[in-house]
Chain A
Amino acid sequence: MKQRHKLTKWLVVLVALHGIVAAAGFFAPYDPTEQDRERPYLPPMHVHLMDAQGHLHLRPFFYPFRLREGSFDQYEEDTAQIVPIKFFERGTRYHLLGFIPSRLHLIGTASTRIYLLGSDAYGRDQLSRILYGGQVSLLAGLLGAGVTLLLGALIGMAAGYYGGWRDELLMRIAELFLALPWLYLLFALRAFLPLAVSPLEAFLLVVVVIGMVGWARPARLVRGVVLSVKERDFVRAARGFGASDFYLLRRHILPETASVLLTQAAILVPQFVLAEMTLSFLGLGVPEPMSSWGNLLATLQQYNVLVSYWWMYLPALAIVPFFLGYLSLATALQERTSPYKMEEKTSWNLS
């Protein structure tokens, strides 16, 4: 009961997190590619309730930034001007989930643009870019995991079900892929694919590359399950009734592998989101002007950005709650399938 509870809790957390990113258009105040060349590298704005005169405002507001005198990149708050933050404001046009046209944004302002997490070199809103970038990174991770699990399940079932030399060959190749460090494999695969491609092609390429890296572990796990399931009585009975291989695999064997595949999915998705981040960070993945968590971080490779504009690091932190959610989900799933728990074992007190 307690484990079920845990599982549900983390599932809810993850659905909420993905929901925020999926509805990026609503939560982001602006379009991620909209530039404001007058305001490069604006630091995150402070939201106030109390103004400089000590009056309390019911509606949160901020002071717009102006250049500090004699400086070209140091900003200070202009306390003469109060910009109230409006909620459920109409703004830039966008498509919710890609097909519902809307202009509604969670936050907005009437006049000066609001930069809750600062702006980048072109004055683009960092918050909007992180939210939209999450769509790219998460989708790459999810699709990559889908490709991997499909490959893993197919290869694992083929190896386990048919056995013999096919099993032998497939498992030797799987060993090869397991032995290679995954980052190297990622690089090696990427190295031999074209570099100059359009953003969409690059995205698909990243998905394919990521998807092809990790199939070995799920394949081996699936094979193990298939090996034991195919000798079970209900499968033998079905075979005795003349069921075809395909029918047996689809109706009787595949469902038995579901829990292994689910656990693997929870482990693989965050890994693959990170893989996309790594590739894009190194300039091998999704290119500008599309934003992804990886290529948002790529500006940190410039020393002056690293020194002066710490808020360019914020996209890196976006992945942490997702990691936490997925790892906890994976643990909860594992505990469900194997109810052995170390903490609950009667432990012998040493001291």
Chain B
Amino acid sequence: MLYFLRRALHAVFLLFGVSLLTFLFSALTPGNYFDEMRMNPQISPETVAALRAQYQLDRPLPIRYAHWLNAVVHGQLGFSFAYNSPVAPLLWARARNTLLLTVTATFLAWLLALPLGVWSAAKLGRAPDRVLSSATAALLVIPDLVLALGLLILAVRTGRFPTGGLVSVSFDELSVLQKLRDLAMHMALPVLALVLSTLPMLVRHVRASVAEVLNAPFLRAALGHGISHRKLLYSYALRAAANPLISLFGFSVGTLLSGSLLVEVVMSWPGLGPLLLESILARDLYVVIGGVLLSMIFLVGGNFFADVLLYLADPRIRTAASAK
């Protein structure tokens, strides 16, 4: 129990640090959201000053931070200047779309990576392994920006897939089945881009960790007992190789909100990515901070989740933790 408490405390410390860091960066900012208004002759300096006062931009940084922290404790993330609404619901609406995309992509990527990696490790150094390794190496040298743009071009040239948006304009008029189909078509490209960019790394990790345990004496013994290859690979070897993979899975879960940022922007998926970019350009301070913090919560949460899984999966960690 103490183990979890320590990990949780660590997580809270990390989040606190990140929020402080983003606020510090914002203090270095030359200019803010209302600067453009100042240029406008139709808006009087008094109005701008009043607006600044209303959003407390005229107060010193520590006080602003204290106010913001107070709001966060009460479940709010501040106020967006551009949307003129609280940040939390704004972020949540976008985060849902991002999660729809990334959960699907992460699920698919792991579903493919596990058998491919195990298979590759079982055939280590022979033809299937070589082919697969070259394929992952090739995918690894294509950066995600290049990949996403390339897929987009392919899509517009074939004309089979919609390019951008969550659903079609006529979405409301469709039947349930057509709705699902429409959504799937819109998701296909960004999901493909995400899967292709995460898959090589996952396959390589699965292959490496399974290959490492394949030489273990207990597996030779199991083979000697006549246990089938399939069972040997998936139930014995994979379990012994699980630790680094569980950490990796935690990382996958952690990047659910942040990993798809670029792909979302390129494919105009209405998720957190475009919102964040928009608010950076508009200097919509609290949306940026809120977005970064939200994805940090996921990242920290993912790591914590991995710790819990490791604790449950590995008796060595359990005893080491309780011995302390």
Report which A residues bind B (CB closer than 8 A). Answer: 172-173, 175-176, 179-181, 183-184, 187-195, 274, 277-278, 281-284, 297, 300, 303, 306-307, 310, 313, 316-317, 319-320, 323-324, 327, 342-343, 345-348, 350-351
- Is the beta-carbon distance between A342 and B150 smaller than 8 angstroms? no
Give bound CA distance, A283 to B211, whole Å: 44
Q: Which residues of B contact A179 (CB under 8 A)?
A: 14, 18, 296, 299-300, 303
Interfacial residues, chain B to chain A (CB-CB below 8 A): 14, 17-18, 21-22, 25-26, 28-31, 122-125, 140-143, 145-146, 149-150, 152-153, 156-157, 163, 208, 211-212, 214-215, 219-220, 223, 229, 232-233, 255, 258-259, 261-262, 265, 276-277, 280-281, 283, 288, 292, 295-296, 299-300, 303
Contacts of A342 in B (CB 8 A): 124, 208, 211-212
Q: Roughly how many angstroms separate A317 CA and B146 CA in the complex, as a whole number?
A: 7
Are B214 and A313 within 8 A (Cβ)? no
| Inter-chain contact A180/B143, CB cutoff 8 Å | no
A93 CB to closest chain B CB, in angstroms? Answer: 33
User: Are A181 and B276 also in contact (CB < 8 A) when A306-B153, A343-B124, A348-B214 are?
Assistant: no
Q: Which residues of B contact A184 (CB under 8 A)?
A: 258, 261, 276, 292, 295
Complex alpha-carbon distance, A133 and B220, angstroms: 56
Interfacial chain A residues near B229, Cβ < 8 Å: 350-351
* Cβ of B140 to closest chain A Cβ, rounded Å: 7
- Taking a contact as CB atoms under 8 Å apart, the answer to whether B146 and A347 are in contact is no
Query: Would you call the interface of chain B mostly helix, strand, loop, or mixed?
Result: helix
Chain B nearest CB from A139 CB (Å) reads 18
A180 touching B122 in the complex, CB below 8 Å, given contacts A284-B280, A313-B150, A319-B143: no
Residue contact A306 to B152, C-beta cutoff 8 Å? yes
Which 8 residue pairs are nearest across A and B when measured between Cβ atoms?
A181-B258, A191-B280, A316-B146, A192-B29, A323-B141, A192-B25, A324-B141, A347-B124
B262 A194 Cβ-Cβ under 8 A: no
Starting from the known contacts A320-B142, A347-B211, 13 additional A-B residue pairs (CB-CB under 8 Å) come to A184-B258, A187-B277, A191-B283, A193-B29, A193-B30, A281-B145, A284-B281, A306-B152, A306-B153, A307-B156, A307-B157, A319-B146, A350-B122
Q: Are A310 and B157 in contact (CB under 8 A)?
A: yes
Q: Choose one: A176, A194, A310; the contact of B31 (CB below 8 Å).
A: A194
Q: A307-B156, A347-B211, A351-B229 are in contact. Are A176 and B299 (CB under 8 A)?
A: no
* Residue of B143, B215, B265 touching A347 (CB-CB under 8 A): B215
Task: State A194–B283 Cα separation when bound (angstroms).
Answer: 10
CB distance from B133 to the nearest CB of A (A): 9
Q: A310-B153, A310-B157 are in contact. Are A316 and B145 (CB under 8 A)?
A: yes
Smallest CB separation, B142 vs chain A (Å):
6
Instruction: Please determine whether A350 and B233 come into contact, CB atoms closer than 8 angstroms.
Output: yes
| Contact call A313/B153, Cβ cutoff below 8 A | yes
Q: Is there an interface contact between B141 and A297, defined as CB atoms closer than 8 Å?
A: no
21 chain-A/chain-B pairs, Cβ below 8 angstroms: A173-B17, A175-B14, A179-B18, A180-B292, A184-B258, A184-B295, A187-B277, A188-B288, A192-B26, A192-B28, A194-B30, A281-B145, A282-B265, A282-B277, A284-B281, A313-B153, A319-B146, A327-B140, A347-B124, A348-B214, A348-B219
Cβ-defined contact, A350 with B30, below 8 A? no
B159 to chain A, nearest CB (A): 9
Residues in A whose Cβ lies below 8 Å from that of B215: 345-348
Contacts of B261 in A (CB 8 A): 181, 183-184
Asked, given contacts A278-B145, A324-B141, whether A176 binds B25 with beta carbons under 8 Å apart, the answer is no
Q: For A327, list chain B residues within 8 Å (CB).
A: 140-141
In the complex, A37→B288 CA distance in Å? 40
CB nearest neighbor in B for A327:
B141
Complex Cα distance A184/B31, Å? Answer: 21
Task: Collect the chain B residues with CB atoms within 8 Å of residue A316's CB.
Answer: 145-146, 149-150
**Smallest beta-carbon distance A96→chain B, Å:** 29
The docked-state distance in angstroms from the alpha carbon of A175 to that of B299 is 13
Tell me which residues across on chain B come within 8 A of A278, comparing CB atoms.
145, 262
Given A184-B292, A188-B292, A306-B152, are A274 and B299 also a contact pair (CB < 8 Å)? no
In Å, the complex CA distance between A181 and B300 comes to: 11
B258/A297 in contact, CB under 8 A: no
Q: Closest approach, in angstroms, between the C-beta of B33 and any C-beta of chain A?
A: 12
Interchain nearest-CB distance for B185 vs A (Å): 18
**Most B Cβ at <10 Å: residue of A180, A191, A282, A300:** A191
CA distance in complex: A310, B18 (Å) = 41
Chain B residues closer than 8 Å to A317, beta-carbon distance: 146
- Chain B contacts of A188 at CB under 8 A? 22, 25, 288, 292
**A68 CB to closest chain B CB, in angstroms?**
20
Q: Compute how far the CA of A187 lies from the CA of B153 in the bound complex, rounded to whole angstroms.
A: 26
The one of B123, B125, B140, B299 in contact with A343, judged by C-beta atoms closer than 8 angstroms, is B125
Q: Is the Cβ of A181 less than 8 Å from the Cβ of B295?
A: yes
